[in-house]
Structures are given as structure tokens and as C-alpha cells.
Amino acid sequence: MPTILDKVQGVFGKKEHAEPASALQAAALTNAAGITAATEAESTTPAFDHGKVTVIFVLGGPGAGKGTQCDKLVKDYGFVHLSAGDLLRAEQNRPGSQYGDMIREYIREGKIVPMEVTIKLLENAMRSALSARAKEEKGEDKWGAAWAEGRGRFLIDGFPRKMDQAIKFDEDVCKSGFVLFLSTTEAVLLQRLLERGKTSGREDDNPESISKRFRTFEETSMPVVEYYRQRQKVVEIDSSPPIEEVYAKIRIAVDAALAMVAP
């Protein structure tokens, strides 16, 4: 059976150590400009060179541990962690946003926001993070070549949710490196989310809602996982074990992934 390293070896380059990138993450979230006229413009080539910019999609059912594991990767590797949901919520509350009311209505009705809006927000957030990193004092550079000369590394959490989003992002923004798929059983997800619901205050952390969210993930996001799996771009990690055990396996994949973008 292929190991985690086998799944990603030959696709990426050398291992590189890193430090927290909270400032970059904040810049990406707070400086993600509203949608501009470019939203409607058709792109002929991706906005970013995937030879310099590493994008890892992080997918998994509700409660699979995506946020927890992304936080660890940000700290240890200097990724900027972008959540499509966070960006949409920020945009709907941004004063003067052309799309705020529309986003609010879609979220309220439980519908998926038009992909052009979500993808443009992600592109803007990536551009803001790259710009912020380029302006940092070179003498205080903790990341070496990881963010030099237009390079960067991003975790995109909970996206793409549908096939058309996956294809459009690859075509217009940046060809993704691979999909980190955190898999587990519905029973484990149910147990985790019910436990979280005791303190989270979230209305959707109840058995009925959790079951619906799991079904939605299977129906809309699993075809995306299979699409990338056929292209040998999925690293699947069982997220049922304890957090640190899962993270140790994730690090093997990420170490191999970062090798190809190292100078």
C-alpha cells in the first residue's frame, strides 16, 4: 500500500522550516478588497504561477478537524490559512460592498454563493497576503525564500465545495498543489460536533443538522475529491485518531509538498 510520502513524492520539493504567519493571515482577511470590475472579466491565464505559489485545498466533513489542523500548519510552516466562509462573512459586512446583501441572502437561505464572487474574494485575499509579505523588512525575514519573489503558500479550507468551483479556481486563480482530505466516519463527526455544541452556541450543532451537513458534503464535495483523486492529487488522512497523531501524518505530506517550491 502506498505511504503518505509516496502519494506526494515527485510532485513537490525540499523541506523548509517555518514560523507562525498570523500577521500574513490577518492581512489576507482584513485587506481582502471588495469585488471589483475584474470580477466580471474573463481570465485567460491563472492569476498566480503554481510554480511559485503553493495552494493546498483542505477538505473534509463537518467536524473532521480542518480548522484545528490548519492552525498547526500555519504555525509550523508559515502558510496563510484562508476560509472561503470567513471571507464571505467579512465581505457581507464590509461597508459599501456591492455584493454584501446578495451574500447575506444566500447564506441565510443556505445556498451556495455564486462561485465568481467566492473565487474573486480568495484571489484578492491571496494577492493581499503576497503584497503584505513583499513589504516586510528583509532583515526580519523569518521565512527565507518561502515568500520571496512572488512565492507564497496557502491553505484554503472548505473549498472547493462543488466541481465547477474547483475547475474555475484552477483555471483563473492558481493550479492547486493537492487536496488534503481529512476523512472519518459519520459517527465520529456526530460525536465531535455534539460535544462542541455543548459550548459553541451554534444552532447547527444538533443531530438533525449535522446529518444534513454530512449528506450535503457527500453529495457536493466528494465528487471534487474524486476528481482530484483521479489526477493523483489527493492525500487522504484518517482524522479519527487523536489530533497529534493525525498531524504527524499530515506533516509527512506537507514536507514533501513544500520540497518542489523550495529554491
Per-residue confidence band for 166, with pLDDT thresholds at 50, 70 and 90: very high
If one counts every other C-beta atom within 10 angstroms of the C-beta of residue 42, the result is: 6
Which cell numbers hold the place of 106? 444566500
Give me the sheet containing 80-83, strands edge to edge.
80-83, 152-157, 53-60, 178-183, 234-238
241 among the known binding-site residues?
A: yes
Is 158 annotated to bind a ligand? Reply is yes
Q: What is the pLDDT of residues 200-250, one digit of tens each?
A: 666 666 777 778 778 888 888 899 999 999 998 999 999 999 999 999 999
pLDDT of residue 261: 47
In the predicted model, is pLDDT for residue 76 greater than 80?
Answer: yes
**Does 251 count as an annotated binding residue?**
no
In contact, 47 and 174? CB cutoff 8 Å? yes
Q: Which amino acid is at 170?
A: D
103 band by pLDDT with thresholds 50, 70 and 90: confident
Answer for the pair 84, 159: CB distance below 8 angstroms, yes or no.
yes
Q: What is the pLDDT of residues 172-197, one digit of tens each?
A: 999 999 999 999 888 888 888 888 77
- pTM value > 0.75: yes
Q: Is 2 part of any known ligand binding site?
A: no
64 annotated to bind ligand: yes
User: What pLDDT is recorded for position 30?
Assistant: 47
Determine the straight-line distance between the first and last CA of the chain, rounded to whole angstroms. Answer: 31
Query: Residue 95, preceding bond cis, omega within 30 degrees?
Result: no
With H, G, I as helix, E, B as strand and everything else as coil, classify residue 162: coil
Q: Is the pLDDT of residue 24 over 70?
A: no
Question: Is 202 annotated as ligand-binding?
Answer: yes
Which pairing describes strands 234-238 and 152-157: parallel, antiparallel, or unpaired?
unpaired
15 is in an annotated binding site: no
Q: Is 213 annotated as a binding residue?
A: yes
161 is in an annotated binding site: yes
- Beta partners for residue 82, in sequence order: 156
Q: How many CA atoms lie within 13 A of 206 on its CB side?
A: 6
The three three-digit cell numbers of residue 168, written as one number: 474555475
Determine the pLDDT at residue 201.
65
Task: Give the tens place of pLDDT for each residue, 129-144.
Answer: 998 887 765 545 566 5
pLDDT average, residue stretch 34-53? 67
Q: Please tell me the predicted confidence (pLDDT) of residue 31.
A: 47
Least confident of 1-5, 7-11, 254-258: 7-11
Round the average pLDDT of the chain to a whole number and report it. Answer: 79
Residue 43 pLDDT greater than 50, yes or no: no
Q: Is the pLDDT of residue 16 over 50?
A: no
State yes or no: 89 annotated in a binding site.
yes
Q: Which of 187, 155, 177 is nearest to 69 (CA)?
A: 155
**Percent of all residues in the chain with a pLDDT value above 70, rounded to a whole number:** 75
Q: How confident is the model at residue 119 (pLDDT cuts 50, 70, 90)?
A: very high
Question: At the top level of CATH, which class does the domain 48-261 belong to?
Answer: alpha beta
Residue 66 in marked binding region: yes
Report strand pairing: 178-183 vs 152-157.
Answer: unpaired
Is 159 flagged in the annotation as binding? yes
63 is in an annotated binding site: yes
